[in-house]
């Protein structure tokens, strides 16, 4: 639920940013977008870790079998990567439109037995 709200919020913000805030300094606008994007990515990471930890506890307690545990954690990891890439790509696209250099940097996230890389952002033009 947090994941969907975070993504929807950011998409709406990106759309509004390119129109309603047109008078705002481009760098300030992109700084706001990058900050909110990174916050949404952190929310997604936290949610994915919580879900993976809960599944791990259920598996260790014998409530779910190995196959369900492994496939569920893999699904969470895949969704995390997909969602963070979508957020990062939207922010990168907006930054390019405003002529601001922004890049992704890799962060490794461990979810139970799986490690994935996600893409928070950093502004290169300061």
What are the tens digits of pLDDT across the range 6-25?
A: 665 666 566 565 555 555 68
| Dihedral Cα 124, 26, 19, 33, nearest 10 deg | 40
Q: What is the DSSP letter of 18?
A: H
Strand, coil or helix: 114: strand
Spell out the residues 6+ positions from residue 11 whose beta carbon is closer than 8 angstroms to its own: 90
- Residue 109's SS3 state is strand
Residue-wise pLDDT for 27-74, tens only, equals 888 888 888 889 999 999 999 999 999 999 999 999 999 999 999 999
Q: For residue 110, what are the β-bridge partners?
A: 115
Tell me what pLDDT residue 103 has: 86
pLDDT in tens, 74-112: 999 999 999 999 889 988 888 888 888 888 888 999 999
């Amino acid at each position: 639920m947090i994941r969907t709200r975070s993504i929807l919020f950011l998409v709406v913000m990106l759309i509004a940013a390119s129109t309603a805030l047109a008078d705002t300094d481009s760098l300030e606008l992109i700084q706001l977008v990058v900050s909110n994007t990174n916050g949404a990515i952190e929310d997604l990471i936290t949610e994915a870790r919580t879900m993976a930890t809960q599944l791990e506890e259920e598996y260790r307690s014998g409530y779910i079998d190995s196959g369900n545990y492994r496939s569920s954690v893999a699904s969470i990891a895949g969704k995390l990567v997909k969602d963070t890439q979508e957020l990062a790509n939207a922010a990168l696209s907006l930054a390019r439109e405003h002529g601001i250099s922004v890049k992704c940097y890799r962060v490794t996230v461990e979810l139970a037995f799986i490690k994935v890389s996600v893409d928070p952002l950093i502004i290169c033009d300061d």
